[in-house]
Chain A
Amino acid sequence: MKAMNRRKFLKGSLLGGAAASLVSKSRDAGAAATFGGYPDGMGVLVDLTRCIGCRTCEAACNKEQGLPTPAQAFDDMTVLDHKRRTSEGAFTVVNRYDIPGQDHPLFRKIQCNHCNEPACLTSCFVNAYTKTPEGAVIYDPTVCVGCRTCMIACPFYVPAYSYSSVLNPIIRKCIFCHETRLKFGRPPACVEACPREVMTFGKRNDLIKIGHQRIQSYPDLYEDHIYGENEVGGTAWMYLSSTPFDQVGFDTGLGNQPILSYVKEFLTVVPMVLTIWPALFAGFHLLATRKDAQQKKEEKSEI
């Protein structure tokens, strides 16, 4: 609920409700820390050490979401020879990373990480995105204008855009199978389809514990870090790896602050400019034209 309070505060200040924001500011200033996510939000823990790059998850996603048949079949492993990203036709992709000094490569599945405080959501000026209490970041295509700021904002380069559509281009990304599965408490299609149990579906809070237990049980196998536990304010999808995360394509320089915290510095300026500028510049005007006004007065009194 903390986030709700803060969002309300930001709304107030941006709408120019200067008085309202001044009142609510004192109350919410303390609450404006980071939103830790919904307490019962679900998540997925991806264990890279178990993945063999079979692309079953890609196929399952394709079927579940009714995506177009790809140019190369899902059992064609030459696809892995080059790095791919999510696109309008593929909400999840697996990439291969050859690790220097290791005899076998690692595979990493990419999809929307469903951030606790999604940058796409906070950057959207028509409120098309929603973080559901179940943990998914979903998107409403009926209000999207197509400015693509969410694609700029997403630190993981996840949202794709259906540029080819003339009349109804929209953002395309993983929605955690929210409509068909997550809403009913079922794991997403990719998790269910995985033959190697790479992904563990559960409450995000429990997954963090499970992750740390695995690291503790096999300290030689795992890096002592769960990617996504704290990155950009925490994500619902988290990763365990046996090699340093930057070697498997993760951006390790993102920091633990939600993207919104970088924008906040500007947002706090807004109510100040709205309230101070009119008085300040009206004052400048009075000062600058003081002599003219005096002259006019004198002229009048002479008449």
Chain B
Amino acid sequence: MKTFIAKGKTPLAAHYNEDKTVKWSMKDKLLLGLSLSEYLAQAFRNPFNWILAVIFTFGGYVTITRFLFGLGYVTHSSYDYPWGLFLGWGLFVMVPLSASGFMLGTTVEVFGRNDFKPIERLALLNGLLGYFFAVMFLQVDLGQPWRLIYPMFVSLGPAAVLFLVAWHVATYLSVQVAELVPAFAEWAAMPKLKTFIKSIILGLTIAGIILSTLHQGALGALFTYAPGKVHPLWLSAPFQWFHFFCSSIFAGLCMLIVVSTICKKTMAWRCDKNFLINLDRLTLGLAKGSTLALITYLVIKIIAIAHDGDWGYLASGWGQWFMLEMGVGVIVPIILFTIAIRNNLAGLARFTALLTVIGIVLNRLNTALITFNWKLYQEIPHWREVTIVITVYALYIVTYRFILYRLPILYTWKKEEDTAS
């Protein structure tokens, strides 16, 4: 795309071309205002696409074998570790990293912090896609994925935590679609749709907070079904839901910093000035929010250890692993974020956000896989399982990029008046 911009092309961002003579068709919008051959040329020029092609060719094949030969072919069919990497990564890691949608929705729409508006839509999209692909991962993992709607309509087990997760993720997905409709409406020229959503946005946002609080917490509460299996340092029955909810706050915010950094570095042509100029300030703002959540999380973690009387475990090998996770993912980030905010160092905040994201990944994998069955043996996922996870994640990245290239997420759609005048 850079090459084309150098040649004088402007990325499509309005209904009409620059001379206001031609109205862009849907095909033009999909091809970013390029001709088909130009579009393909830029796609082939991008080395990342070649990596993706390799992943999809090989990983796509392995993914298909899962549905042809069953879970037993792609996993170790463990009875002791019924949840492998599909849920460990796909559900327990993806969902907290997608909390950005409701965080920024709350900041802008409920708290009226309109200064965060330039990054709100990216946050919403990050949330929507994260959840959508968490469901995709779930579909790979479920024994009978075609029965996904059974808990909704066929046979209800409403006293189960997973019932709550299923319903909340489903309703929250629709809330997030609705929240992103304005972006789509601008792009597809359907102004009435946008006005309608604008009128109910506060209701949607508050629904989003309720649903997020409960299902982020519920993912943690799922492990309270296994009090004897997860290591006590990673499981505290009374606090578990709050640990997961509280950590999802900084997980979502830090993921947003990471994603916005990637956008800035790899698709600057698609970002408008409003986004690029504000990004450093917004990054530090998000860092501030993350720090508050990180401190809360650290305190409640310590309280949980004290409450359960788990101090003794800290001296064990598991305890050192736990302290490493807390150090890398919580304590060091608190210090680095503070330095970054005090000295206005957006770059340091970006690095710290990445560190925090790694910390949260470690925490969720620790809870779901690594310290699970700590009294038994360690399960190492099958290579096919790993391949499928990489493939689905690559699909997530491609979808993400496809939408970012087109919908007004990183840039503002040029209004009719501007082009007509």
Residues of A near any B CB (own CB < 8 A): 7, 10-11, 14-15, 85-87, 119, 122-128, 140, 143-149, 151-153, 155, 157, 159-161, 163-166, 168-170, 251, 253-255, 259, 262-263, 265-267, 269-270, 273-274, 277-278, 281-282, 284-285, 288-289, 292
Q: A10-B159, A126-B151, A259-B225 are in contact. Are A85 and B79 (CB under 8 A)?
A: yes
Q: Which residues of A contact B224 (CB under 8 A)?
A: 262-263, 265-266
Decide yes or no whether B156 CB sits under 8 A from chain A.
yes
Q: Are B209 and A169 in contact (CB under 8 A)?
A: no
* Distance from A150 Cβ to chain B, minimum over Cβ atoms (Å): 8
Q: Which residues of B contact A251 (CB under 8 A)?
A: 228
Closest to A127 in B: B157
List 6 interface pairs A-B (beta carbons < 8 Å), by A numbering: A143-B154, A149-B82, A259-B227, A281-B110, A284-B111, A285-B202
A125→B226 CA distance, assembly (Å): 16
Q: Are A166 and B70 in contact (CB under 8 A)?
A: yes
Q: Which residues of B contact A125 (CB under 8 A)?
A: 151, 157, 160-163, 166
Q: Are B110 and A285 in contact (CB under 8 A)?
A: yes
Q: Are B225 and A163 in contact (CB under 8 A)?
A: no
Q: A145-B147, A164-B77, A270-B214 are in contact. Are A123 and B69 (CB under 8 A)?
A: no
Stretch at the interface among B38-46, B234-242, B246-254, B398-406: B234-242
Decide yes or no whether B327 CB sits under 8 A from chain A.
no
Q: A168-B144, A273-B214 are in contact. Are A151 and B209 (CB under 8 A)?
A: no
Q: Are B71 and A289 in contact (CB under 8 A)?
A: no
A285→B110 CA distance, assembly (Å): 5
Interface residues of B in 157-207 (CB under 8 A from A): 157-164, 166, 202, 206
Q: Which residues of B contact A160 (CB under 8 A)?
A: 79
Decide yes or no whether B282 CB sits under 8 A from chain A.
no
Given contacts A87-B79, A145-B147, A145-B150, 13 further A-B contacts (CB under 8 A): A10-B159, A122-B225, A143-B155, A144-B144, A145-B151, A148-B83, A262-B237, A265-B238, A266-B218, A266-B241, A281-B106, A284-B110, A285-B202
Closest to A170 in B: B143
* Distance from B270 Cβ to chain A, minimum over Cβ atoms (Å): 31
Q: A125-B166, A266-B217, A266-B240 are in contact. Are A277 and B209 (CB under 8 A)?
A: yes
Q: Which residues of B contact A284 (CB under 8 A)?
A: 110-111
Q: Are B214 and A161 in contact (CB under 8 A)?
A: no
* Distance from B370 Cβ to chain A, minimum over Cβ atoms (Å): 15
Give the bracket for the number of chain B residues in contact with chain A. Answer: 35 or more
A14→B160 CA distance, assembly (Å): 9
Q: Are B240 and A282 in contact (CB under 8 A)?
A: no
Q: Are A164 and B162 in contact (CB under 8 A)?
A: no
* Distance from A12 Cβ to chain B, minimum over Cβ atoms (Å): 9
Interface residues of B in 328-364 (CB under 8 A from A): none
A-B pairs, top 9 by smallest CB distance, nearest first, are A146-B143, A148-B82, A266-B221, A163-B72, A163-B77, A127-B157, A151-B82, A153-B225, A125-B163
Q: Which residues of A contact B222 (CB under 8 A)?
A: 149, 152
A170→B147 CA distance, assembly (Å): 12
Q: Are A147 and B110 in contact (CB under 8 A)?
A: no
* Distance from B138 Cβ to chain A, minimum over Cβ atoms (Å): 8
Decide yes or no whether B136 CB sits under 8 A from chain A.
no
Q: Are B206 and A281 in contact (CB under 8 A)?
A: yes
Q: Which residues of B contact A14 (CB under 8 A)?
A: 158-159, 163-164
* Distance from B116 Cβ to chain A, minimum over Cβ atoms (Å): 13
Decide yes or no whether B213 CB sits under 8 A from chain A.
yes
Interface residues of B in 24-75 (CB under 8 A from A): 67-72, 75
Q: Which residues of A contact B210 (CB under 8 A)?
A: 273-274, 277-278
Q: A127-B155, A166-B70 are in contact. Are A292 and B106 (CB under 8 A)?
A: no
* Distance from A153 Cβ to chain B, minimum over Cβ atoms (Å): 4
Closest to B241 in A: A266
Q: A284-B110, A289-B112 are in contact. Are A147 and B162 (CB under 8 A)?
A: yes
The listed residue with most A CB atoms (<10 A of its CB), out of B68, B144, B156, B164, is B144
Closest to A146 in B: B143
A124→B163 CA distance, assembly (Å): 8
Q: Which residues of A contact B111 (CB under 8 A)?
A: 284-285, 288
Closest to B109 in A: A285
A148→B88 CA distance, assembly (Å): 13
Interface residues of B in 84-129 (CB under 8 A from A): 106, 109-113
Decide yes or no whether B148 CB sits under 8 A from chain A.
yes
Among B142, B151, B206, point to the contact of A277 (Cβ < 8 A): B206
Closest to A156 in B: B228
Q: Are B155 and A169 in contact (CB under 8 A)?
A: no
Q: Which residues of B contact A265 (CB under 8 A)?
A: 224, 237-238, 241
Q: Which residues of B contact A270 (CB under 8 A)?
A: 164, 214
Decide yes or no whether B264 CB sits under 8 A from chain A.
no
Decide yes or no whether B379 CB sits under 8 A from chain A.
no
Among A165, A269, A273, point to the contact of B70 (Cβ < 8 A): A165
Q: Are B226 and A145 in contact (CB under 8 A)?
A: no
Q: Are B70 and A126 in contact (CB under 8 A)?
A: no
A122→B229 CA distance, assembly (Å): 17
Q: Which residues of B contact A163 (CB under 8 A)?
A: 70-72, 75, 77, 143
* Distance from B287 Cβ to chain A, minimum over Cβ atoms (Å): 21
A149→B223 CA distance, assembly (Å): 10
Closest to A88 in B: B79
Q: Which residues of B contact A278 (CB under 8 A)?
A: 206, 210
A122→B156 CA distance, assembly (Å): 12
A278→B70 CA distance, assembly (Å): 44
A125→B83 CA distance, assembly (Å): 16
Closest to B221 in A: A266
A265→B217 CA distance, assembly (Å): 11
